Amino acid sequence: MKKDAKIYVAGHRGLVGSAIVKNLEAKGYTNLLMRTHAELDLTDQQQVAAFFAAEKPEYVFLAAAKVGGIVANNTYRAEFIYENLQIQNNVIHQSYLNGVKKLMFLGSTCIYPKNAPQPMPEDCLLTDTLEYTNEPYAIAKIAGIKMCESYNLQYGTNYISVMPTNLYGPNDNFDLEKSHVLPALIRKIHCAKLLNEGRDDELVKDLGVDNIDEAKAYLARYGVDGDHVEIWGTGKPMREFLWSEDMADACVFLMENRDFKDTYTLAKGVNTTCTPNAPKSPEIRNTHINIGTGEDVSIKELAETIKKIVGFKGELYFNSEKPDGTMKKLTDVSKLHALGWRHSVELGEGIKMIYEWYIGSGR
């Protein structure tokens, strides 16, 4: 990509999209296209068609999506499949019609079967049943992968699909009801620390409530007081986490240095756990790329690390009567490594950085 190439980042305000913009700007790219949802509704076919016809982007990062945690995925199943399919269909098809040179589609490792082998290689896609709670979202993302593959094979386009593991970083969602586990733990433990140290004004400001009694009542709903933080489950499940700016770096690296053909040629010899006896045929599939660290940590160890970094003096309570969820979700990143990229931010360093960002964000 030339430094003055017109690059459209869809979803530039989100966790990954904002990190991609930051990475591109740091590398000297000067012609970035960005639109808010109010300016461009990506689920609207006519709006997207008009945007592409007018702006003619040369490169596209498709980081826009309807996302949420387990409760949101399971509650708003229709919205998650409809809106994500609409966004993908519109952006990918208009990229083809308007001659986009390269597109990157961002998905999620929830595309893999519920009982996929660990770590999860790319060739496990569509080999078994999906996790029920996020099945509509996963199916939409699988459709996006197959749409990119199909356009590449039929029309000769150059679209790459990447599947990130659990991400965290600047502009993350810290809402205690809707956030994922790492930002939720940071906020719960930070709030418990403020209570423990009698920093009532800071706590009231953080939660956006009127007084300390309201703050205490709100936190009690999530098992938080000045001496204890409740965490659902036994703490034994293992999870993998990737710093969002590492994810962005991987995306930009692949856009700068790799093409669709590399996703099934340069990556030969990677893990084929799910299809060890795959036929030697011209079939091209599973060209998507896992983006992760290939390392995981228990929820208990994660919580203890956050507690130490935050400086909370109270206790962590693991409520074993609450569900653990899937016990292990680790990505196989041998394909990513074969393509030439590895993560640089380790989890402990990343937690320190995101905590500093959180307390400095004006909450």
- Which residue numbers are catalytic? 137
What would the two tokens of residue 55 be?
């702006």
Residue type for position 21: V
Scanning 311-361, the segments in alpha helix (DSSP H) are: 334-338, 347-359
Phi-psi region of 210 (alpha: psi -120 to 50; beta: other; left: phi over 0): alpha
Locus of tokens 């983006």: 291
Report which of 258, 26, 65 is spatially closest to residue 144, judged by C-alpha positions: 65
**CA 40 distance to own-chain centroid:** 22
DSSP class of 320: T
Can you tell me the distance from the alpha carbon of 358 to that of 187, in angstroms, rounded to the nearest whole number? 8
Distance from C-alpha of 208 to C-alpha of 24, rounded to nearest angstrom? 34
CA–CA distance, 301 with 305 (Å, rounded to integer): 6
Give backbone dihedrals phi and psi of 247, rounded to 5 degrees, phi first: -60, -45
